[in-house]
């Protein structure tokens, strides 16, 4: 019941904020006139996110309310007329004094794109999380997969499938965090105008964890999210959003619920509308794999 109440409050705030954007006169099909320069060869952005996380379930010693901070640098460039390469560096931490939900990741993408139809590509990377309370226990993982985009007049549909695995870290080779996992993600960005976008997505991972007493135990993550983003100036956009997730460790019947409300601001290195950026610039990313690793190896395993 607590999780449902939190979700209702967060979603209500999200909808009210979206209504405020509409009343401000930016809901129509014709956005305000903005002057653009030629897009540079190197494309990219830097996003800073400030959020509040609520947890309930098998928490062990983990606090149930946390301030969350993250940053992500994305750089990309066109390769010839049809290919786009992108590199991501991201990190996340909380204000908890114990080691919990701290992590960083590096990822790369290569996609063949047609700006009128869509794109298909591959991605992969590595991550490290520090997740256990009262200690400094880390888990190292790698991931790879396929991703695609489909473009329509006012919408961009996106999807990913991949694999997450690896042994490594100070936590007995990272034994507790989810691994041997397949994951999938799908969503849509709908553009109310060229510089005002709403996004919804769902994702999930199905794997193994916790080999204190082999064999490994089944673990699952189901996640979802919504956000609204508006370009504020030529070089800056702002967003408000909500993310939720449920984590399961089947054999021990452990369950963890997560709710995150956040604000983010993104510095845009190459000028263009949000809709054009979703098809020509650094719009590729990965699911919340950092958080999945930290939550399964930390409060869910505890």
Residue 39 scores a pLDDT above 60 = no
Task: Residue 153: name the closest of 119, 194, 113 by CA.
Answer: 194
Report the chain's mean pLDDT, rounded to a whole number.
Answer: 82
Strand, coil or helix: 76: strand
Residue 214: predicted pLDDT: 62
C-alpha span between 204 and 59 (Å, rounded): 21
Residue 58: predicted pLDDT: 62
C-alpha span between 300 and 296 (Å, rounded): 5
- Radius of gyration (Cα) for the chain, nearest Å? 19
pLDDT band at 59 (very low <50, low <70, confident <90, very high): low
Strand, coil or helix: 6: helix
| From 8-12, 51-55, 172-176, 271-275, the region with the lowest mean pLDDT | 8-12
Residue 143 scores a pLDDT above 90 = yes
pLDDT band at 7 (very low <50, low <70, confident <90, very high): very low
Residue listed under structure tokens 């449902």: 4
Residue 85: predicted pLDDT: 96
Residue 29: predicted pLDDT: 41
Tell whether omega for the bond before 215 is within 30 degrees of 0, i.e. cis. Answer: yes
- C-alpha 25: how far from chain center: 29
Strand, coil or helix: 8: helix
pLDDT band at 186 (very low <50, low <70, confident <90, very high): very high
Residue 12: predicted pLDDT: 45
119: which strand partners? 113, 149
Residues 183/160/139/103 CA torsion (nearest 10 deg): -130
- Domains of the chain are 2-300 (2.40.160.160)
Residue 123: predicted pLDDT: 97
What proportion of the chain, given as a percentage, has pLDDT over 90? 52
Residue listed under structure tokens 């954007």: 21
**Residue-wise pLDDT tens digits, 75-131:** 999 998 899 999 999 999 887 654 456 889 999 999 999 888 999 999 999 999 887
Neighbours of 8 (CB within 10 A): 10
- For 97-135, give one letter per residue: b (16+ CB within 10 A) or e: ebbbbbbbbebebebebeeeebbebebbbebbbbbbbee
C-alpha span between 40 and 170 (Å, rounded): 42
Residue 102: predicted pLDDT: 80
């Amino acid at each position: 019941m607590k999780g449902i109440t939190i979700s209702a409050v967060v979603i209500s705030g999200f909808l009210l904020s979206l209504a405020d954007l509409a009343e401000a006169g930016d809901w129509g099909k014709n956005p305000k006139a903005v002057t653009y320069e030629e897009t540079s060869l190197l494309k990219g952005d830097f996003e800073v996110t400030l959020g509040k996380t609520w947890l309930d379930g098998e928490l062990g010693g983990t606090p149930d309310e946390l301030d969350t901070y993250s940053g992500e640098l994305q750089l990309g460039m066109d390769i010839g007329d049809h290919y786009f390469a992108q590199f991501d560096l991201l990190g996340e931490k909380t204000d908890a004094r114990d080691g919990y939900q701290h992590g960083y990741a590096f990822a790369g993408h290569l996609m063949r794109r047609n700006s009128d139809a869509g794109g298909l590509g591959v991605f992969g990377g590595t991550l490290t999380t520090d997740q256990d309370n009262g200690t400094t226990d880390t888990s190292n993982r790698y991931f790879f997969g396929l991703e695609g985009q489909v473009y329509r007049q006012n919408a961009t549909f996106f999807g990913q499938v991949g694999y997450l695995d690896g042994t490594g870290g100070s936590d007995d080779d990272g034994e507790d965090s989810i691994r041997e996992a397949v994951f999938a993600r799908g969503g849509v960005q709908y553009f109310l105008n060229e510089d005002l976008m709403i996004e919804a997505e769902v994702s999930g991972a199905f794997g193994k964890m916790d080999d204190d007493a082999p064999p490994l135990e089944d673990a699952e993550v189901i996640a979802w999210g919504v956000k609204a983003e508006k370009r504020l100036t030529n070089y800056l956009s702002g967003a408000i959003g909500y993310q939720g997730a449920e984590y399961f460790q089947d054999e021990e019947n452990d369950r963890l619920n997560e709710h995150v409300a956040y604000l983010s601001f993104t510095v845009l290195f190459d000028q263009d509308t949000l809709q054009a950026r979703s098809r020509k610039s650094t719009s590729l990313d990965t699911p919340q794999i950092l958080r999945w690793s930290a939550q399964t190896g930390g409060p869910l395993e505890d």
